[in-house]
Chain A
Amino acid sequence: DAMVIQNPRYQVTQFGKPVTLSCSQTLNHNVMYWYQQKSSQAPKLLFHYYDKDFNNEADTPDNFQSRRPNTSFCFLDIRSPGLGDAAMYLCATSIRGLGYTFGSGTRLTVV
C-alpha cells in the first residue's frame, strides 16, 4: 500500500550526538513536512518542502536541519540534540496542501 514510512520507530541518542531521522513516501506527494510533537501538545511544524523549495518556520532552532534528496525521501538532522528535543517527530506529505498523510512517527529519546 502507498504510505509514509518513518525509520526508526524509536531512536535513542546521546546528548549532543548528531542524529538523523528518515521519512520516505510512495504517494508521490509534492509536499513533505516535519513536525515535532511533545506530550499533550499540538504538533509543531518545523519545516516543509514544497517540491524542492525548503520552507523553514521562523521559530525552528538552527539545531534542526532537513534534506530532501528526491521526491520520495526527506531527512531530519538534529545536529546537537538536547534533552528538550526529546519528542515524537512526525513526517507528513500532501499534494499542494491537500490529502495530508502522516507517517507513524519516530519517538526520540535523548540520554
Chain B
Amino acid sequence: RKEVEQDPGPFNVPEGATVAFNCTYSNSASQSFFWYRQDCRKEPKLLMSVYSSGNEDGRFTAQLNRASQYISLLIRDSKLSDSATYLCVVSTAGSNYQLIWGAGTKLIIKP
C-alpha cells in the first residue's frame, strides 16, 4: 500500500462547478499536510497547508480527518485556470519533516 494515495483522475469538470478530491495516508503519526498544485512541466507549488480545524482560502477549502486518515480539497466555482495536477503531501515529525508525496489528481476544467 502506498503511503499517500490519490485518485489519478482525470476529473473533467465544467467551468463554474464544484469539485472535490480526497487523499488517504497510511502513517497515523503524520503531522503536517499540504496540497500542492503542479502545472504541466512545471515545479509543484504550495496551494495550501491543511490544519486540523480545516481551512479556507478563497474558493479552496481543505479538510483533515485524522480518524479516517484522509485529507480533502474542495474547489468552488472552478475556473479554467484551475486545470492542473493537485498533489497531496504529508510529512511526519522525526523524519526531518520529509515530504511524502501522492502521485496527484489531474483536474481539467472545461468551458
Contacts of B80 in A (CB 8 A): none
Q: Mark B72-109, 1 if CB is under 8 A from A, else 0.
A: 00000000000000010001000011110111101000
Docked complex Cα distance between A85 and B89 (Å):
24
Contact partner, A42, options B41, B45, B96, B103, Cβ 8 Å? B103
Contacts of B44 in A (CB 8 A): 43, 90, 102
Question: What is the interface residue range for chain B against chain A?
Answer: 10 to 19
B103 touches A97 (CB 8 A): no
B91 touches A104 (CB 8 A): no
Contacts of A96 in B (CB 8 A): 96-97
- Judge whether A68 is part of the interface by a CB distance below 8 angstroms: no
- Judge whether B57 is part of the interface by a CB distance below 8 angstroms: no
Contact partner, B91, options A31, A41, A48, A97, Cβ 8 Å? A97
Q: Which secondary structure characterizes the binding site on chain A?
A: strand
Question: What is the interface residue range for chain A against chain B?
Answer: 20 to 34
Contact partner, B96, options A31, A40, A41, A104, Cβ 8 Å? A31
CB distance from B38 to the nearest CB of A (A): 9
- Judge whether A65 is part of the interface by a CB distance below 8 angstroms: no
Contact partner, A97, options B4, B45, B98, Cβ 8 Å? B98
A104 touches B87 (CB 8 A): no
Docked complex Cα distance between A102 and B106 (Å):
20
- Judge whether B14 is part of the interface by a CB distance below 8 angstroms: no
B8 touches A40 (CB 8 A): yes
Q: Mark A42-55, 1 if CB is under 8 A from B, else 0.
A: 11010010100001
57-110 of chain A: CB within 8 A of chain B: 88, 90, 94, 96-98, 100, 102-105, 107
* The 4 A-B residue pairs with the shortest CB-CB distance in the complex, in nearest-first order: A97-B97, A42-B101, A102-B43, A42-B103
Q: Could you list which residues of chain A lie within 8 angstroms of chain B, going by C-beta atoms?
A: 31, 40-43, 45, 48, 50, 55, 88, 90, 94, 96-98, 100, 102-105, 107
A and B contact pairs by CB, cutoff 8 A, 14 listed: A40-B103, A42-B87, A42-B101, A43-B101, A55-B96, A94-B97, A97-B91, A97-B96, A97-B97, A98-B97, A102-B43, A104-B42, A105-B42, A105-B43
